[in-house]
């Protein structure tokens, strides 16, 4: 098989001449192709068959122990001008970057199959979708890309159709696992060329180029140029007892509960009353203004590449149901009867994520960033609206992160500009999803710090640009599920109980509750958060919603210093908004808010 698109055919031939594979395989995305790939990987040991009675169609992949997370220090955005990449990215001049990584690709696929993967990010027929082609020598990548994207013949047909009007519009992604040598590992992005080159890693975020590389770093650049948003956000639908559904997009840093919120199960009382939750996506959201002025969103992905640890029957039973069949697990542990295992599940591990007999002295049985790859359609709460070409209308945008203190349970921004400041100021404790120290507070604007493909100052300005005449923008909120009491325990129960907070947000969107105005935004007024059947002491709720003025003055000062790091490209409107909130905190408190 070849392509009718000259630009694609020419590029494939150029890559083959450089990498010198033993053979070339154009992926069609068929079931037969997937079965053949699985059999091949079982024979080579790239996959291990799991217990087919308990987990039919499920397999385990173990990656190299040096290759278990995103490597942000080896991830580059390569724009012609360094200033365009911004201080939020590692930069390398495009000519230097191509030379450095192309030298690694020279002959890298000798003796291997070169796979050509045409894929579509988003529904095949959606005008919001964008296409790409990944070339790789990893059958594991092919299998995962089949689950995570609309991959194969239909995607190729769309690429060829679009190519008739604009030759070469697809995103070009070149990947080789190379020798899996950490000293010979780079992930290079060329936004101005709509291309990606990744070498030396087989880990999902570095190797599944449709995911973070295309759907965020390259797409964010495309989105700015074309007038839309590519965001690190889940999309969830909340249906009330009257049958009305509000769609919410929410941004949290990796491993901070996006998947759990996207698959939320309402508390029993809410279920009895007829509340339902619909899953559109758990990680990435592309939004575009519609003709009616509202923002409409699609999930560009077709699957979940979820963090396994923390996924349990108590935290996310929908995820457990989703991954009970036809799933690829990566770096989890095994039980004696070959079932996948990680901390939080019942049972006992006998083999750890590296294939060694389990010994607690070696650390956790499953790697903290171990993963599952599964089709989104297997989720019990999956919504067919995820396939709608026009996307779903967004009622609210939510920002959040892990903050043990200061940040209240929920705040509503006063307007769009204040909401952009909230997103820009987001902070969170780091997690195991990226290499480096865990538990360190860092600013992570819109949860996009590792993923924004251009200068953050320009990115904030792009967000602000949506506030224009005729726009009917979503309301913006900030949540903090992770606030702790003096005993170090979480104050809010989280998980399904988070629906109580989402219900208040929807009531605010519909104008049904007044809220309590404070200098940092609107909080729930007394009695507005419905706490029926929830044993939450009054003093705990007060602590969750407390606004520490002195602490917030210090926070606003720190936010100001952070914003200044973006120099002359920081929008003046954002700096003025930071100063407005800071000054409001210095005013005498009203008696009602005391």
**Binding annotation:** 70, 203-205, 212, 232, 254-260, 283, 369-371, 402, 495-498
- Is residue 256 annotated as a catalytic residue, yes or no? yes
d(CA 364, CA 519) in angstroms, rounded, equals 44
Give, in degrees to the nearest 5, the angle at Cα 40 between 35 and 43: 125
- The pair of structure tokens assigned to 270 is 């809410």
d(CA 342, CA 365) in angstroms, rounded, equals 7
- DSSP codes joined into one string, 555-585: HHHHHHHHHHTTGGGS-HHHHHHHHHHHHHH
Q: Write out 236-304 in H/E/C secondary structure.
A: EEEECCCCCEEEEEEECCCCCCHHHHHCCCCCHHHHHHCCEEEEEECCCEEEEECCCCCEEEECCCCEE
In sequence order, the 6+-apart residues with CB closer than 8 A to the CB of 489 are none
d(CA 571, CA 589) in angstroms, rounded, equals 30
d(CA 327, CA 376) in angstroms, rounded, equals 11
Label the pairing between strands 113-121 and 23-26: parallel
- The CA distances from residue 341 to 277, 327, 495, in Å, are 27, 14, 21
- Binding residue positions for substrate: 70, 203-205, 254, 369-371
- DSSP codes joined into one string, 390-457: T-EEEEEEEEE---SSSS-SEEE-SSHHHHHHHHHH-EEE--TTBSS-SS-EEE-GGG-TTT--S-HH
Contact 488, 112 (CB under 8 A): no
- The pair of structure tokens assigned to 4 is 């009718």
Q: Which of 27, 58, 120, 256 is catalytic?
A: 256
d(CA 74, CA 115) in angstroms, rounded, equals 24
Contact 220, 454 (CB under 8 A): yes
- Binding residue positions for GTP: 255-260, 371, 402, 495-498
In sequence order, the 6+-apart residues with CB closer than 8 A to the CB of 102 are 18, 197
d(CA 580, CA 560) in angstroms, rounded, equals 11
Q: Is the dihedral of CA 566, 232, 330, 19 positive or negative?
A: negative
Helix axes 456-464, 572-586, angle to 10 degrees: 80
d(CA 253, CA 428) in angstroms, rounded, equals 7
**Torsions phi, psi of 61, nearest 5?**
-120, 135
- The CA distances from residue 253 to 86, 383, 432, in Å, are 20, 24, 11
Q: Active-site residue numbers?
A: 256
């Amino acid at each position: 098989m070849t392509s009718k698109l000259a630009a694609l055919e020419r590029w494939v031939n150029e890559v083959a001449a450089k990498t010198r594979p033993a053979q070339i395989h154009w992926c069609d995305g068929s079931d037969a192709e997937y079965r053949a790939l699985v059999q091949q990987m079982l024979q080579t040991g790239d996959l291990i068959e799991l217990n087919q009675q308990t987990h039919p169609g499920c397999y385990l992949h173990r990656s190299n122990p040096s290759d278990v997370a995103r490597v942000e220090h080896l991830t580059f955005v390569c724009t012609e001008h360094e200033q365009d990449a911004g201080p939020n990215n590692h930069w390398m001049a495009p000519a230097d970057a191509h030379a450095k990584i192309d030298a690694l690709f020279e002959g890298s696929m000798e003796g291997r199959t070169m796979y050509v993967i045409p894929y579509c990010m988003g529904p095949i027929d959606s005008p919001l979708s964008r296409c790409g082609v990944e070339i790789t020598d990893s059958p594991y990548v092919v299998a995962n890309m089949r689950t995570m994207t609309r991959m194969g013949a239909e995607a190729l047909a769309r690429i060829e159709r679009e190519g008739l009007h604009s030759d070469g519009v697809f995103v070009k992604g070149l990947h080789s696992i190379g020798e899996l040598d950490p000293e010979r590992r780079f992930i290079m992005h060329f936004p101005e060329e709509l291309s990606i080159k990744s070498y030396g890693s087989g880990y999902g975020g570095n190797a599944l180029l449709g995911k973070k590389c295309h759907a965020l770093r390259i797409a964010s650049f495309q989105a700015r140029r074309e007038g839309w948003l590519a965001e690190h956000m889940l999309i969830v639908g909340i249906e009330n007892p009257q049958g009305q559904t509000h769609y919410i997009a929410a941004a949290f840093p990796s491993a901070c509960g996006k998947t759990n919120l996207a698959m939320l199960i309402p508390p029993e009382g809410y279920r009895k009353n007829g509340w339902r939750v619909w899953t559109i996506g758990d990680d990435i959201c592309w939004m575009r203004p519609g003709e009616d002025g509202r923002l409409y969103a699609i999930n560009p992905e077709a699957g979940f590449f979820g963090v396994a640890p923390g996924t349990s029957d108590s935290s996310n039973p929908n995820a457990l149901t989703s991954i009970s069949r036809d799933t690829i697990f990566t770096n989890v542990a095994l039980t004696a009867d070959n079932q996948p295992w990680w901390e939080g599940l019942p049972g006992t591990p006998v083999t750890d994520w590296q294939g060694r007999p389990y010994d607690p002295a070696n650390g956790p049985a499953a790697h903290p960033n171990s993963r599952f790859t599964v089709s989104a359609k297997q989720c019990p709460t999956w919504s067919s609206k995820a396939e709608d070409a026009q996307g779903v209308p967004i009622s609210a945008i939510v920002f959040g992160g892990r903050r043990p203190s200061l940040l209240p349970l929920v705040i509503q921004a006063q307007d769009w500009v204040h909401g952009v400041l909230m997103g820009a100021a987001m902070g969170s404790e780091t997690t195991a999803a990226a290499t480096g120290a865990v538990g360190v507070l860092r600013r992570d604007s819109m949860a996009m710090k590792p993923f924004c493909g251009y200068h953050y100052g320009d990115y904030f300005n792009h967000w602000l640009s949506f506030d224009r005449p005729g726009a009917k923008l979503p309301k913006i909120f900030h949540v903090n599920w992770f606030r702790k009491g003096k005993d170090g325990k979480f104050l809010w129960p989280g998980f399904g109980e988070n629906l109580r907070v989402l219900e208040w947000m929807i009531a605010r969107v519909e104008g049904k509750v007044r809220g309590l105005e404070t200098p940092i935004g609107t909080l729930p007024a007394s009695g507005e958060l419905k706490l029926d059947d929830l044993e939450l002491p009054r003093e705990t709720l007060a602590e969750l919603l407390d606004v520490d003025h002195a602490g917030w003055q210090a926070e606003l000062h720190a936010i100001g210093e952070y914003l200044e790091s973006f120099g002359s490209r920081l929008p003046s409107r954002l700096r003025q908004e930071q100063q407005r909130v800071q000054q409001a905190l210095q005013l005498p408190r009203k008696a009602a808010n005391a």
